[in-house]
Amino acid sequence: MSYLSVYWKRYWKLFCASIAFLSIESFCDLLQPTMVSKIIDDGVQTGRLDVVWQYALLMLGITAIGAVGAVGRNQLASRVSQRFGADLRLDMFKKINAYSYAELGKRDAASLLTRMTNDATQVQQFANGMMRVFVKAPILGIGAFVMVFFLNVRLLWILLVVVPIVIALIATSLKVGAPFFLKLQQALDKLNAAIREYLSGIRVVKAFNMLGREVERFDIVNESLSSIAIRVGRIMAMFSPLITLVVNLSIVFLLWISPELMTKGDITVGEVIAFMNYMTQILMALNMIFNVYQQFIRARASAGRIGEILGTETDGTGNAAASGTYRAEDIKGHIIFRDVTFAYPDTAEPILRNVSFEVLPGETVGIIGSTGAGKSSLVNLIPGFYQPQSGTVLLDGVDIAAYDETRLREQLSIVPQKAQLFTGAIAENIRWGKMDATDEEVTIAAKAAAAHDFITSFPDGYNTILGQNGVNLSGGQRQRVSIARALVRRSNVLILDDCVSAVDVVTEAAIMQSLRREAADVTCLMVTQRISSVMHLQKILVLDNGEAVGFGNHEQLMTDCEVYQEIYRSQIGRSM
């Protein structure tokens, strides 16, 4: 948990100020029973009303000072804990953003969500408690001991018997309950994962009438979380009343023996009342400590899970390849793959094997092959999302690994295989490609992507608000908005990763025609499953099982490449 030292350095002054206010409040609370004792013994029993008023006014002043301490403590505690929680969540968000694609592949999205929300809240609440009640507990407990010592040392032995018993109860409860708090967070992970998977696939669930199965799956994880929470609640609910019982028994014992002590003159009425108040304060302190350790155990489990995120080593760029400092001002688009072999992390077999080819600036190259041939993996090496195990990917003669990641991706336009849109207006989604794009530029890009007509058919046009991931658009419409987002950037390198799979042949032809017109001088890599999309291109790369088995135009490949011929016959031959 060494990462927490960063926040300590940031907020230690305000934290210490909060503790100072808390100490003032606690000391004022400790003085109250002694003042009551003085009022009873020196004022009420002696009939001196002036003494009663004197101590009453003194108590009022002490209470006012304590109130100031409480207000100051609450203000600072709320401010520091909220800022700490916000900084913690922001740092986790930045850290996740800096993960490489490989690292993200190892993480479950539901677990990351839980850590950024529930776990961060647990740690934030512990920090808030530290400044509100957690430090107050030992001050009250130890202070009450001291005050009883000065009040009447003959009563101290009762505390010396009671407190060790209570401490033993607290230690036992923590030892029994601690393992369940980590299990509770893990069960919450599984619940979030089940909810997320169901919501993302709800259409498929309804289409296959599998609601009953999903209810059963959810019921299993839901009951698991519930059962663990119940076990934790039972353990903690058993010990808190026991602590209260032990302290109250000590008060009853004092009341039982106090008449004899008062007869002997060993104790006064005011001291008995003051001792009872101090026992109540000790009970409060012990219950606070009990709650502190409950919070601490949960916060420790959560802090460890957060530490797994913040402690992960990254290159700080969010990728495994482009992590250098080279900042090209104008990438032309000369791409060379030289004996590139690539495998995903924790995967034994390479996805790409010794792939070599060259794309000159301004050329459009089609990339075709069967499912799983490595097409998407190949184009994902160009933006530096992954690093090849061997070989080199060159862009304008410079190794991708040497590029500054931010500058590299600023000059690339990418349309991913899965169209990912965001909540907001259609125009805002298109402007992701260029945040300062004018309305005219947005419209031109939408027309080039064959999206303008369906966008303007909506009542709000380009201001139409999209739901999460463009849920209110069809698959083909989402792909066309995604293409427009890439085109509005007007980069010299355009990567189209099978991005027209959900559109019809006529729309695809219109998009291809627009691309030839709008991106005539752009280096374009077009991944596709349809041979009709690449037949007209001068260069076509054919992949099969991760290997480049053909590179040339349609006529050459129909003569020299058996894999290309099979694709042609399966798609074109059958329709003829």
**pLDDT band (50, 70, 90) for residue 318:** very low
CB 143 within 8 Å of CB 26? yes
In the numeric block, which tokens belong to residue 178? 């601690």
pTM over 0.75: no
> How do residues 472-517 score in pLDDT, each as one tens digit?
888 888 989 999 999 998 888 999 988 877 777 788 888 888 877 7
Among 569, 526, 134, 486, CA closest to 367: 526
Confidence of residue 314 (pLDDT cuts 50, 70, 90): low
pLDDT higher than threshold 60 for residue 576: no
What mean pLDDT do residues 122-126 have? 85
Task: Map out the domains of the chain as residue ranges.
Answer: 4-310, 418-490
Band of pLDDT at residue 317, cut at 50, 70 and 90: very low
Distance CA 205, CA 55 (A): 73
Report the mean per-residue pLDDT for the chain: 82
Confidence at 126, pLDDT banded by 50, 70, 90: confident
Residue 13 buriedness (CB in 10 A; 0-12 / 13-18 / 19+): exposed
Instruction: List 525's β-bridge partners, or say none.
Output: 365, 495
Rounded Cα gap, residues 446 and 479, in angstroms: 11
387, pLDDT greater than 80: yes
Confidence of residue 324 (pLDDT cuts 50, 70, 90): low
What pLDDT score was predicted for residue 408?
85
pLDDT average, residue stretch 88-111: 79
Q: Which of 174-178, 266-270, 340-344, 505-509 has maximum average pLDDT?
A: 340-344
Using DSSP's 3-state secondary structure scheme, residue 253 falls into helix
Answer with the residue of higher pLDDT: 275 or 395: 395
What lies within 8 Å, CB to CB, of 569 at 6+ separation is none
pLDDT of residue 549: 92
The mean per-residue pLDDT over the stretch 17-21 comes to: 87
Q: Given pLDDT bands bounded at 50, 70 and 90, which one contains residue 355?
A: very high
Query: What pLDDT does residue 46 have?
Result: 67
Cα–Cα distances in Å, from 145 out to 39, 162, 285?
Answer: 21, 12, 11
Q: What is the pLDDT of residue 457?
A: 92
Q: What is the pLDDT of residue 325?
A: 67
305 vs 223, higher pLDDT: 223
Would you place residue 45 in the very low, low, confident or very high pLDDT band (cuts 50, 70, 90)?
A: low
Counted residue by residue, the chain has a size of: 576
What are the pLDDT digits (tens) for 258-293?
A: 777 777 766 777 777 877 787 777 777 777 777 777
Please tell me which of 19-23, 113-117, 273-277 the model is most confident about, judged by mean pLDDT.
Answer: 19-23
| pLDDT of the residue at 1 | 63
As a whole number, mean pLDDT of residues 412-440 equals: 89
CATH code for the domain defined by 418-490: 3.40.50.300
The one-letter code for the residue type at 183 is: K
3-state secondary structure of 433: coil
For residues 189 and 110, the answer to whether their CB atoms sit within 8 Å is yes
CATH code reported for the domain at 4-310:
1.20.1560.10
For residue 555, name the pLDDT band (cuts at 50, 70, 90): very high
pLDDT in tens, 432-467: 888 889 999 999 999 988 899 999 999 999 999 988
Q: What is the pLDDT of residues 59-69, one digit of tens each?
A: 888 889 988 98
Residue 315 in this model has a pLDDT that exceeds 70: no
The pLDDT value recorded for residue 42 is: 72
Please state, for a pLDDT cut of 90, what percent of the chain lies above it: 18
Which range has the worst mean pLDDT, 14-18, 158-162, 527-531? Answer: 158-162
Confidence (pLDDT) at 319: 44
Residue 368: per-residue pLDDT = 93
Q: How far apart are CA 181 and CA 225, in angstroms?
A: 11
pLDDT digits (tens, 9 = 90+) for 183-226: 877 787 788 778 877 877 776 777 777 888 888 888 898 998 88
